[in-house]
Every structure is written in C-alpha cells, then in structure tokens.
Amino acid sequence: MKVFFTLLMAGVLVLMLEGALATILPPPWCPDLRLLAVICIGLRWQGLAPGLALAYLLGSSADVLSGSLMGLHALLSMLTFLSAVFAGRQLNLKGLFPLMAFAASVSFFYGLALYAVSIFFVSGIQFVPQWLWENLLHSLVNGLFAPLVFEALTRLAVWAGADDSSERALFLETSRGPM
C-alpha cells in the first residue's frame, strides 16, 4: 500500500513538473513524464489490478489538468499500462535501447490514439500533416527520457518497500507441471 501511494504521489508530482516544463519548452520537445511513469510502472509493477488503478488515477489527473475529453487520458493510460505489462513479459526490455525504443513507440501510438479520438468527438479538428511530424519528434523525446524516469521510479519504489529485483518470475512448463 505504501508503494502504491508513493508512486501515485510521484506520478502527480511528475505531472506538475511536466506542466512547469511545458511553459519553458515548446510542445514537441517537452517529454510526457506522466506517460513515461505509466509505462515504467507497467514494466515494474507486480500486480495487475493495483497497477491498473494507479494508471487510471494518473490518467484521470491528466484529464483534470489538461482540459481534454474527460476519461480519455485515463482510458489510454490503462491501455498503455496493459501494453507495458504484456510487453515486459514477452520482450527483453532490460537494456537502455530496447526501453527507449519501446517508450518511443508507445508514445507515438498514444499520440495517434489521442488525435484520432479528438478528431472523432471534437468538431473543428482536422488532420494536419505537420502534427504527424511533431508526434514523431515528441515520441523520440519521450524515448530519450524513458531510462531516466524508469530509474527514478524504480529507486523510489524500492525505497518505499517494493521488491528489489525487477525480474518477473518466469514459469517453465515441463511434463510434471510448472517449475
């Protein structure tokens, strides 16, 4: 429980830091720290239900502060968390470059989904080719910041009492059952 609330407060602080950075850096160059926190929590978190609740709360706080469609960031944060959980189980994302590539690709698809839903529900938004280039730049910036956010959140979670190993158990099927 202590780890949950520590990561929730860290996520809200990261969201406020992102808002402060957005006043200094133009939009494609400012990293989406909350999204990176959700990705890193998905790669690190052991339980599915509390992790989904944490992703929902971080997404809802982004909904409240961003002024976008209510529930959009919450839904996309939960989908991002689930993709990180399942990719972390199937792919070797332990290195620096695989983590950066995964965070950049998830950020790119997050931006596409955000834009597609906004076009569908909000009148007056049209497709602009310049936006695709800015989304690509934004996802690359997110990929560059992913190892820093992952390391910071891992250290914070271990400080709060989480398991020190970031390895998930790998069950091997044998003829006698799981090992």
Highest mean pLDDT of the ranges 18-22, 27-31, 53-57, 171-175 = 53-57
DSSP state, residue 29: G
Class of domain 2-172 (CATH, top level) = mainly alpha
**pLDDT score, position 149:** 93
Q: What is the residue extent of each domain of the chain?
A: 2-172
**Is 90 exceeded by the pLDDT of residue 104?**
yes
Q: What percent of the chain has pLDDT over 70?
A: 91
Alpha helices in the chain (DSSP H): 2-24, 33-44, 48-66, 72-90, 96-121, 129-160
**Is 60 exceeded by the pLDDT of residue 36?**
yes
Q: Tokens representing 78?
A: 């939960």
**Is 80 exceeded by the pLDDT of residue 124?**
no
**Whole-structure pTM value:** 0.86
Mean pLDDT of the chain: 87
**pLDDT score, position 56:** 95
> In which band, very low, low, confident or very high, does the pLDDT at 87 lie, cut at 50, 70 and 90?
very high
Pairing assessment for the beta strands 173-174 and 177-178 based on DSSP bridges: antiparallel
Work out the burial of residue 37: count CB atoms within 10 Å of its CB; fewer than 13 is exposed, 13-18 middle, 19 or more buried: buried
Mean pLDDT of the region 20-35: 90
Q: Report CA-CA distances (Å) from 15 to 49, 65, 163.
A: 22, 9, 25
Q: What is the pLDDT of residues 139-152, one digit of tens each?
A: 999 999 999 999 99
**Which has the closest alpha carbon to 60: 50, 69, 51, 47?**
69
**Which has the closest alpha carbon to 75: 88, 87, 60, 64?**
60
> In which band, very low, low, confident or very high, does the pLDDT at 86 lie, cut at 50, 70 and 90?
very high
